[in-house]
Chain A
Amino acid sequence: MSGARRRPVALTALGLALGAALSVLAPVDAQAATGAADGKLPPQGALLPKDSVDAATFRGGLVFANYCVTCHGINADGNGRAARLYNPRPANLRMSDKNDAYFALIIRKGGAALGRSEFMPTWEAELTNEQISDLVAYLRSINQHKAN
């Protein structure tokens, strides 16, 4: 009887010890996986939730770098390598006073549809809705207009 009584006690003690060990180890492993323990980013870069504003801004920056820099420039100030072809020059998007809806509209429909430069192409056939939304998030993030 005493042996039968001792066994559950021993098992319980073993379980508690194992649980405690795992609970201590788990955070260490998570930190090691993300590299966050020492404040450094993991090799694959920052891990961002898909629906966060930061993620949209990050993705929008990629869209901008691929499609917009030729005219608007890597700094979005209107000084891209093709800017010299145009008069008026491409818009300085950092100082734009336009809201998000306007950004999305001119990206979709092009400049001519809004009475702006005919050389701003229509992008609605090339970019997905998500890409346009991400691009707007990126443009908002870099905008330095005083009203913003």
Chain B
Amino acid sequence: MIQMSLGSRALSCCLLLTAALSAQAGQEVVVTQKNKTFSVKKLTVKVGDSVKFLNEDSFAHNIFSLSAAKSFDLGSFGTGGSRAVVFDKPGKVEVECAVHPDMKLDIEVLP
């Protein structure tokens, strides 16, 4: 009985740890690029969430941001390609495409 109790406790700990880790890892939100526009104009995520940029155009995009909350450049990626970025600080992030200056996406990262 004692052994089973210890086993079940260990299992419970493992489950709790897994749940905690998955909560920390955050959610992944997919934003597509098609016809030189982002699939959404505004997006709200939480710290730890990631946004995956998926190119559904027949030409390359180059997604970047110069915002203080998150500066990044995902480089050029072509049709069907994708790149993801994790948002690790709260704040407002303006996302742009280096190849298509009219493409804009505002992301608000909540604590």
A→B interface (CB under 8 Å): 66-67, 70-71, 81-82, 84-86, 110, 118-119, 121-123, 125-126
Contacts and interface: CB of A to CB of B under 8 A. Distances in A.
A82 B98 contact: yes
A71 B98 contact: yes
Interface string B59-96: 11010101000011101100000000000000000001
A82 B62 contact: no
B59 A85 contact: no
B105 to A, nearest CB: 16
Task: Say what secondary structure dominates the interface of chain A.
Answer: loop
Contact of B99 (A82, A84, A85, A126): A126
Nearest to A127: B99
17 contacts: A70-B96, A70-B98, A71-B98, A81-B66, A82-B66, A82-B73, A84-B71, A85-B64, A85-B73, A110-B76, A118-B76, A119-B62, A119-B75, A121-B98, A123-B99, A125-B60, A126-B100
Nearest to B71: A85
